[in-house]
Structure 1
């Protein structure tokens, strides 16, 4: 039986690495949520700055045992940190949040209301892109739905807008990280793995989150990002080179358009 919105526990997972400049604002955006039945699972990937201390102070300030901080023994990257976080969750829904991004106050409430209203297993939202200092850059609009083949050509989402209903999406489907000798986009790999089962991702065309662009983000290295996506298509998805090139062309085209 589907959990009612008033009872559903949302597990928020956050990988953490050297984000002391931004993580305080990120955590405040969680605390400001109008929907309060959440837990925040943070996995620190061997930060060398004050990031873990900021999370600990935030947990004490919240005072409701909703925030748990774990640490990896060695630096393994955001994907492994997320994988570790998933092993600690106990919620009915999973929501993703990076330690430099921000949610608007009604993000969780609005998504839960929408997902339960339409029976969505996977949901994403529009978002605002901001500069490193928080200045507005643009708003990214999203379609009402996307299937596997749509996603190959247009990764319109950002991970911090995505939510899964764990009654409809098995947790182990979200937990897999490939042990391969090449780089690939772990987030995209997860979303495609879910969509490949026939699940339709449903979109809310409202900017309910903010995505921060800065030089330290992994996506800032555009050439490497293209190479990772090519690996995803040709190696992980097993697509032929011609179709991979077609999908990559549209990915890049949409990436430019959503920044205008």
Structure 2
């Protein structure tokens, strides 16, 4: 299977310069995502620094949805694509782990099948890497479902920020589709978890070494932002997931007791803020009705 071609890449990023770039494998978990996988793959094909491969892990999709992946075999090649099939649905954590283990690149770039990237995502992140870097992310932007990924220029001289363990226990500073991870990192997503499983991994990696982020939007979510489409129940499940993450990491000794308490206090404050904002909106709405 191969990835469809995109627009030509700048000449100064081709040839011997590309050969000196870190090798990157893209890992995409796929579950009944025929409607969006093309957009995700197109954003990979448009990268100014192309990856060496794309690994799509089909998480036991419906037969028709699997067939949609097979249809991509007829597209012209730009980046090699491999499809791995899970025998049972295990969730995105298990799918990402499977792709991670199968990857050939030095680095793993995660991308969800309904998200997309800025064309310079891999280029700018690889430029920020140091010998000590274990992981680098970037800012993300929410787009509407039918809005294509922006191709406008981004700040190219942006400086990477180092995020220590303390920054990670205050809040989740990364989105999965913006993360570039060193393949040899001795940690993985926890299989079977559906909320905050990524947050758990980021904290584990931050406890091991250097984690960076680029304060410029290089990844895009094609969905409505939280709070605009009845997603409050999902937010609460994510908060519960965060609490479980802190408990697990404290039990394993990744977090000290003071770090665990700070994380729980900050999370409690965040919940309180949400309740206050929700109450205020409800009161304003009632006043408008009356």
> Is the alpha carbon distance of 1:73 and 1:226 closer, same or farther for their aligned partners in structure 2, counting shifts above 3 Å?
same
What does the per-residue CA deviation read over 1:130-155, in whole Å, with 9 as the maximum and x for residues that have no partner?
2333389xxxxx98221112111121
Q: What are the ranges of 5 or more consecutive residues in structure 2 without an aligned counterpart?
A: 1-17, 150-158, 275-290
Indicate the residue corresponding to 2:170 in structure 1. Answer: 153
> Is the alpha carbon distance of 1:227 and 1:176 closer, same or farther for their aligned partners in structure 2, counting shifts above 3 Å?
closer
Indicate the residue corresponding to 2:247 in structure 1. Answer: 234
Structure 2: how far apart are the matches of 1:47 and 1:224? 24
SS at match of 1:156: coil
SS at match of 2:219: strand
> Is the alpha carbon distance of 1:148 and 1:19 closer, same or farther for their aligned partners in structure 2, counting shifts above 3 Å?
same
Structure 2: how far apart are the matches of 1:229 and 1:205? 23
What does the per-residue CA deviation read over 1:232-253, in whole Å, with 9 as the maximum and x for residues that have no partner?
1123333657434213146669
Deviation, 1:29, is 0.5
Q: Which one of the candidate residues 190, 214, 226 is aligned to 1:177?
A: 190
Structure 1: how far apart are the matches of 2:25 and 2:91? 20
Deviation, 1:120, is 2.9
1:213 maps to 2:232: no
Q: Given that residues 25 and 51 in structure 2 are in contact (C-alpha distance below 8 angstroms), is that contact kept between their aligned partners in structure 1?
A: no
Indicate the residue corresponding to 1:194 in structure 2. Answer: 205
Correspondences of 1:83-232 after superposition (within 5 Å) = 83-116=97-130, 120-134=133-147, 144-166=161-183, 170-171=184-185, 173-175=186-188, 177=190, 185-197=196-208, 199-213=209-223, 221-232=234-245
What does the per-residue CA deviation read over 1:12-31, in whole Å, with 9 as the maximum and x for residues that have no partner?
11110111221111111111
Normalising to structure 2: TM-score of the pair? 0.71
Deviation, 1:190, is 1.1
1:81 maps to 2:92: no
Indicate the residue corresponding to 1:243 in structure 2. Answer: 262
Deviation, 1:99, is 0.3
* Higher Rg of the two aligned structures: 2
Normalising to structure 1: TM-score of the pair? 0.79
What does the per-residue CA deviation read over 1:178-218, in whole Å, with 9 as the maximum and x for residues that have no partner?
67xx8652111111111111x132111111110223599x9
> Is the alpha carbon distance of 1:91 and 1:162 closer, same or farther for their aligned partners in structure 2, counting shifts above 3 Å?
same
Count of matched residue pairs: 240
Instruction: Give RMSD over aligned pairs.
Output: 3.4
Q: Given that residues 91 and 191 in structure 2 are in contact (C-alpha distance below 8 angstroms), is that contact kept between their aligned partners in structure 1?
A: no
SS at match of 2:62: coil
SS at match of 1:196: helix
SS at match of 1:237: helix
Q: Which one of the candidate residues 41, 57, 70 is aligned to 1:56?
A: 70
> Is the alpha carbon distance of 1:52 and 1:32 closer, same or farther for their aligned partners in structure 2, counting shifts above 3 Å?
farther
SS at match of 2:129: helix
Indicate the residue corresponding to 2:154 in structure 1. Answer: none
**Regions of 4+ moved over 6 Å:** none
